[in-house]
Structure 1
């Protein structure tokens, strides 16, 4: 391979490094030709072919310790003419042109693997590294006792009570009177949705039933003293922090027939009457006196009222025209539903409902004062005035009606 090197002087266009490299090849050529003449051209040409041993001739000039050691040793080649010729060429460069040497084998040992010049490099001997993408390390999950739950915007609560009153009067009691037993039970269930942003939906179902015995009533073993089945639903969109645009639905009727002492006439019954009121307005959330007084105030300038009476005989009694089952009218409505907790043992619940068509008006004001003795025993005082000028006027009370009772017994709240 060294015979094919051009003998023409280097052109000025070559870089300094190239010039030095060509000079080294020129010096190697003359010494290589001399080595060939010493061992015979025929034998050298027969065995000459490119090997890794020739690498020092073509790499940047480097001082190899092994070459100087083999050259100075006695009988080290054992008729290895190729390696001896190459070593002679490199030694000639070391002695005649030391200025061409750029680095040493010791320096190569520091900066990287040394170049092996004594062994032929073949593809079988190459140590190829198989590059495999590193496997992603999965993080280890540790349980710190933290649980994440999906937000639940629904809340549920309820109130229950069952109370009774027993009154015994002997036949010869000097003031007269009669013995009787009475019992009253009430259940209030609420399911409310509030996403704490814009939407609120409230649902409340109230059921109340009171029964009483009377020895003076020969026609009825039991009569109702309290009878209520009422649903209140509200759907609101928040306008401000305290105000909501609200649609409210009220529907109420009763469970059983209503009688008077020793009277066979039925004065009320299930769906006689049944009242449904649908109103559109605004709600105000009440949180006064450190949240001791809470509730809502509903003001609706537009309201539709539907009244139904299943017994035609009761039509005129409840403000309907004779022979008609239904009454439809439009007016305005307001509802106040508040709870005032005075202490852990005493609270006041009040509901004020008013509806008017500007021709007739209905006003109901329910008040319940509760004395809570412990978790399960309580006493209630119930006061309920009512105004309705759509009915016949009474000679004593006019359009006003009034109900009141007191009871004590079992109660429970969720």
Structure 2
């Protein structure tokens, strides 16, 4: 065989190389299909194709593009008007993850079942929505590197500003436009809310202490039980509806009973028995100042005896004290309502003391012997302070001073309350009193000054109107 027959072979090979497309050597990577990313097998071609003439359905392409197994769709008597979800054409944003074991991506169970053919479109639409949701979830879980954003870490939207002209100052003011995502739609009809003209504040407490000491205790001592009850009710005029008026009334009752193991006459003694009423009424003068009138009355309910004796120390309306004053009051409360102070100054004040029990020595109350009452005209001043130090710590203080320019008396009461919870509390009460008419007590350094201090633990209950 002659070699001349093969002399055209190199020429043919070179020609074939030049005829191959240039881009066949460097092919661009083909984007993976959704089914490839989901690692789903491609559905086999159906043996026959069913052609149904129907009106245009915007969801048909979406169903056949996402799942090849859908070969035919029932005729839809009603066509849904909603468009394809916008999220389909946007970067993926991870919003939530939901695990549903009973629903597969390719064959979810229908959530709606109805014998009425008119509702078939609703079943198909619900199915389509569930397929879209599950495909999206499955895609993001298996391909987290393709998820662009997370709903929890999305950047803040750009701020918007607006410019307004102020002719009075010949300036342009640029301010930020604040938009609210969730706008509350105002009701068509206004809801009538009952006005509360009076605000109530009620509190009640029962504190106690107990000590047991065995007879052979090396230091000695006595068993004792102490109980302290306190009820307070405050009523105040609502300043929101009556800004030019001030009215407040406070009623308080305290009772302290203690066992008396060393008392041969009494099993128990009453260490404190006080009923007190305070009232204030005023008309606004300027800012926080009011022209005001205030009144105070106090007495006790039970008989009180001296230790190891049947002699009465005090009883109901023995003593009884009434004080009325005219002047001005300053009232101030901060916006968080944690601190409130009220100061009353009465240049004109009337004070009366009484004792209705003939068995009691009236000179102990500053009343002349042979008289049952004493009246005095002078001046008084009162300061009340309320401070919520913390959510469970409150401090209340009251200072009252009266003088008729011959003698003076004053009271300073302090109450520090620690709330353990809604029903348990610890309370420290300190009452300092000054009375220039009192004589010095024998074998004691106390004369004109008097002091009472009580530390107690117990139950509490309170409520108030806002």
SS at match of 1:321: coil
* 1:340 aligned residue: 387
Distance 1:375 1:144 in 2: 40
Where in structure 1 do 4 or more consecutive aligned residues deviate above 4 Å? 288-291
Instruction: Note closer, same or farther for the CA distance 1:289–1:196 as it changes in structure 2 (3 Å cut).
Output: closer
Distance 1:348 1:150 in 2: 32
* 1:86 aligned residue: none
Per the TM alignment, residue 259 of structure 1 is displaced from its structure 2 partner at its CA by 1.9
Match 1:352 to one of 389, 394, 399: 399
SS at match of 1:239: strand
What do residues 138-162 of structure 1 show as CA deviations (whole Å, max 9, x unaligned)? xxxxx85642245332111111111
* 1:174 aligned residue: 218
Distance 2:271 2:368 in 1: 28
Per the TM alignment, residue 311 of structure 1 is displaced from its structure 2 partner at its CA by 2.4
* 1:410 aligned residue: 459
Per the TM alignment, residue 288 of structure 1 is displaced from its structure 2 partner at its CA by 5.4
Match 1:315 to one of 351, 362, 377: 362
Instruction: Note closer, same or farther for the CA distance 1:288–1:200 as it changes in structure 2 (3 Å cut).
Output: closer
Match 1:379 to one of 426, 430, 435: 426
* 2:252 aligned residue: 206
Is 2:384 the counterpart of 1:331?
A: no
What RMSD in Å do the two structures reach over aligned CA positions?
1.9
* 1:118 aligned residue: none
Is 2:211 the counterpart of 1:155?
A: no
Maintained 8 Å contact 1:308/1:327: yes
* 2:298 aligned residue: 252
* 1:277 aligned residue: 323
Match 2:313 to one of 255, 267, 271: 267
* 1:234 aligned residue: 280
Maintained 8 Å contact 2:225/2:258: yes
Match 1:188 to one of 205, 226, 232: 232
* 1:287 aligned residue: 333
SS at match of 2:312: coil
* 1:108 aligned residue: none
Per the TM alignment, residue 397 of structure 1 is displaced from its structure 2 partner at its CA by 0.9
Maintained 8 Å contact 2:438/2:447: no
Distance 2:336 2:199 in 1: 22
Distance 1:404 1:167 in 2: 18
Maintained 8 Å contact 1:227/1:255: yes
Maintained 8 Å contact 1:209/1:228: yes
Per the TM alignment, residue 338 of structure 1 is displaced from its structure 2 partner at its CA by 0.8
* 2:262 aligned residue: 216
- Structure 1: give runs of 5+ residues left out of the alignment: 1-142
Per the TM alignment, residue 219 of structure 1 is displaced from its structure 2 partner at its CA by 1.0
Distance 1:204 1:285 in 2: 16
Instruction: Note closer, same or farther for the CA distance 1:145–1:411 as it changes in structure 2 (3 Å cut).
Output: farther
The alignment's TM-score, normalised by the length of structure 2, stands at 0.56
Maintained 8 Å contact 2:250/2:278: yes
Instruction: Note closer, same or farther for the CA distance 1:196–1:241 as it changes in structure 2 (3 Å cut).
Output: farther
Distance 2:371 2:427 in 1: 39
SS at match of 1:317: helix
Aligned positions, number: 273
Match 1:401 to one of 447, 450, 462: 450
Maintained 8 Å contact 2:317/2:355: yes
- Structure 2: give runs of 5+ residues left out of the alignment: 1-186
* 2:412 aligned residue: 365
Distance 2:384 2:192 in 1: 36
Distance 1:311 1:238 in 2: 42
